[in-house]
């Protein structure tokens, strides 16, 4: 009789992990990924959108559209420098090409590496720019821009 009671207690314990998976504990979150990865994917997508909009504004020579991608703390400095002699929106610069090359998570937010081709007359040069995109309340914005960037990480195939 003792053996039957122990067996009756072991079967429910053995089935417990399968029951918990059905309740959403420890398994798929229903969105096709794990719960921890969804925020990173969202951040990467939002960062890409903001930087691409900024690059498009540079190419179109639309400082207002570029300014709209920036965090409030960067907008005052942007107003003073954007159309100046070395600003991103200077009249004599043309931007025939700009590409996002890498996106990484950092302590400051999402770091978006780009290559931007700038031409002045017949001269062309390509430079790397690193944008930092962060969340400001419910919205995302560019919090920093500096020369440089990251090389794309090699892809790993299983």
Q: What is the pLDDT of residue 40?
A: 75
Longest Cα separation, the chain: 95
pLDDT under 50: residue ranges of the chain: 5-38
Structure tokens at 58: 């540079």
* Residue 73 Cα to chain centre, angstroms: 19
Q: What is the pLDDT of residue 150?
A: 77
CA 129 – CA 132 distance, rounded (Å): 10
What pLDDT, on a 0 to 100 scale, did the predictor assign at position 146? 93
At residue 119, the pLDDT reads 93
At 28 the pLDDT is: 44
> Which position has the token pair 């995302």?
140
């Amino acid at each position: 009789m003792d053996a039957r009671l122990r067996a009756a207690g072991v079967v429910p314990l053995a089935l417990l992990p399968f029951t918990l998976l059905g309740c959403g504990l420890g398994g798929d979150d229903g969105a096709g990924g794990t719960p921890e990865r969804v925020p990173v994917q969202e951040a990467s997508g939002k960062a890409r959108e903001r930087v691409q909009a900024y690059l498009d504004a540079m190419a179109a020579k639309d400082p207002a559209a570029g300014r709209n991608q920036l965090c409030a703390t960067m907008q005052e400095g942007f107003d003073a420098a954007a159309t100046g002699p070395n600003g991103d929106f200077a009249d004599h610069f043309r931007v025939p090409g700009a590409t996002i090359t890498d996106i990484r998570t950092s302590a400051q937010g999402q770091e978006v590496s780009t290559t931007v081709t700038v031409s002045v007359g017949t001269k062309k040069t390509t430079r790397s720019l690193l944008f930092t995109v962060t969340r400001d309340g419910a919205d995302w914005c560019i919090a920093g821009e500096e020369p440089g960037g990251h090389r794309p990480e090699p892809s790993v195939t299983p």
